[in-house]
Amino acid sequence: MRAVVVTEFGGPEAVEIVESAVPEPGARQVRIKVAASALNPVDAGVREGVFGGAGKQVGLGWDVAGTVDAVGPAAAWSVGDQVVALDHGMVKPLGAHAEYVVVDTDAVAKAPVTADAAHAATLPLNALTAVQALDLLELAPGQSLLVTGAAGAVGGYAVQLAAHRGIAVTALARQGDEELVRSLGADRFVAEGEAAGFDAVLDAAVLGEPALAWVRDGGAYVGVIPQAHPASERGVRTTSVAVAADGARLADLVRLVDEGVLTLRVAETYPLEEAAKAHARLAEGGVRGRLVLVP
């Protein structure tokens, strides 16, 4: 099978397509024939060597939408099931940017019935990050939340999920994104420098200390890069989300997609062999929605 990997770290030019053996599922695992897989900023970080793995072949890709193709013992899924999954892991020989991927059975959920594979592939990593970050904030209905980077993939899901919970959401994004973030459910829109006094901040834009300053005394801050959150001050509780594969939670998110609560956004699709081109587009910035690779 074809798979997207890096063997030397660098820019988009480091991305390679290699031939690899089709992986076999073990106990409580399934093999998915990949129909689509989203490209995320974490893939660029892996490509650049941020997470280590020098001297090894490192596979790229975390998100997958496709069809169960083979099952291991006690896998709890059937061949032919249409599914989505999170293929979690920073440094692994093969990732979801491939024709087939093996994942643990409890990382899998049935795919949305209202979306095609390309759109479904934008859900697992970003929506799980958003919902797990919101859980860390422990906000009650009516409390105020500022989402930075609200027009991005994680930020957009966070806006929609928080609004669905009855939280008063303010979106921080570029001026040109106001209409978009309001359509996602933001009560208010602000540009940088205009925000202050929120019960909590979900810092999807990775602003760090400037975003912490917008939290009221005794509030809460959550970042989206593990262990990279600023230190607590003014009694503000600070933490960061380390996304975890969770098929049951992913199934809840799929249900919200099918109910129209969550919007799946695809910016562009690329054939698998143009993975380097997709990485170059991601590096340019300004992408609204996700770039998706299609084997």
To the nearest whole percent, how much of the chain has pLDDT over 70?
99
Q: Where are the domains of the chain?
A: 2-122+264-294, 126-240
pLDDT of residue 170: 97
Token look-up 């690899």 returns 20
230-242 tens-digit pLDDT: 999 999 999 999 9
DSSP-derived secondary structure for 85-123:
EE---SS-S--SSBSEEEEEGGGEEEPPSSS-HHHHTTS
Instruction: Give the Cα separation of 152 and 132 in Å (integer).
Output: 17
Phi and psi (nearest 5°) for 220? -140, 145
CB 2 within 8 A of CB 19: yes
pLDDT above 80: residue 101: yes
- The distance of Cα 106 from the centroid of its chain, to the nearest Å, equals 18
pLDDT tens digit sequence for 177-231? 999 999 999 999 998 766 789 999 999 999 999 999 999 999 999 999 988 899 9
Write the DSSP string, 152-187: SHHHHHHHHHHHHTT-EEEEE--GGGHHHHHHTT-S
pLDDT at 246 > cutoff 80 = yes
Identify the pLDDT of residue 195: 75
- Could you tell me the pTM of the whole model? 0.96
The predicted structure's pLDDT at residue 191: 84
* 126, pLDDT greater than 90: yes
Interhelix angle for 275-284 vs 41-48, to 10°? 110
Q: What is the mean pLDDT of residues 88-92?
A: 89
pLDDT exceeds cutoff 70 at 8: yes
pLDDT score recorded for residue 26: 95
2-122+264-294 CATH choice from 3.40.1190.20, 3.40.50.1370, 3.90.180.10, 3.40.50.300: 3.90.180.10
Domain 126-240 CATH assignment equals 3.40.50.720: yes
